[in-house]
Amino acid sequence: MNGKSKKPTAGDTAVPKAGFSDWVTSTFDIPPEILEGGLSLEMRGRNRLLIRGCRRILTYAPEEMQFQMKGCVLTVSGKCLVCHSFLSGAVGIEGKIHSISFGDRPGEEVPSC
């Protein structure tokens, strides 16, 4: 290498020095809250749920699971619930899901508007 840097061309995608997270979210179409450790739910049918942004599992039972999220507690209720994965804040749940609710503390649900 001769120490000279390559000049960018029109087809190059330059990463701005400021706003790297903005660049990543716009380039890869990722919601900003995902990068910031926020909450994301993905449901597939009625029997599979993927939760992102989980800080820890608070309760685990076949009828109800509670998860500490950033700023709230997420409760999943149903039958035969099984947590099949928990890795880097992502939780995979299978079973018959009846409801998903949010609260400020374990056992507390936020009233609907």
Helices and strands of the chain, counted as H and E runs: 2, 6
Measure the CA–CA gap between 98 and 31, rounded to whole angstroms. 27
Which of 56, 59, 47 lies closest to 91 in space, CA to CA?
56
Q: What is the pLDDT of residue 10?
A: 47
Q: What is the pLDDT of residue 70?
A: 83
Q: What is the pLDDT of residue 5?
A: 52
Q: What is the pLDDT of residue 71?
A: 82
The one-letter code for the residue type at 22 is: D
Q: What is the pLDDT of residue 113?
A: 45
Backbone angles phi, psi at 102, to 5 degrees: -120, 145
Q: Which residues contact 38 (CB under 8 A, 6 or more apart)?
A: 31, 32, 53, 70
Q: In whole angstroms, how far apart are CA 35 and each of 12, 16, 17, 31, 48? A: 24, 17, 17, 7, 23
Measure the CA–CA gap between 22 and 42, rounded to whole angstroms. 23
pLDDT (tens digit, 0 to 9) for every residue of the chain, 113 residues total? 555 555 545 455 555 555 776 777 678 766 665 556 568 889 999 999 999 989 999 999 999 999 998 888 999 999 999 999 999 889 999 999 999 998 886 655 545 54
**What is the topology classification, in CATH, of domain 39-103?**
Immunoglobulin-like (2.60.40)
Domain residue ranges of the chain, discontinuous segments joined by +: 39-103
Q: What is the pLDDT of residue 23?
A: 77
Sheet with 56-60: strands ordered across: 40-44, 48-52, 90-103, 72-87, 64-69, 56-60
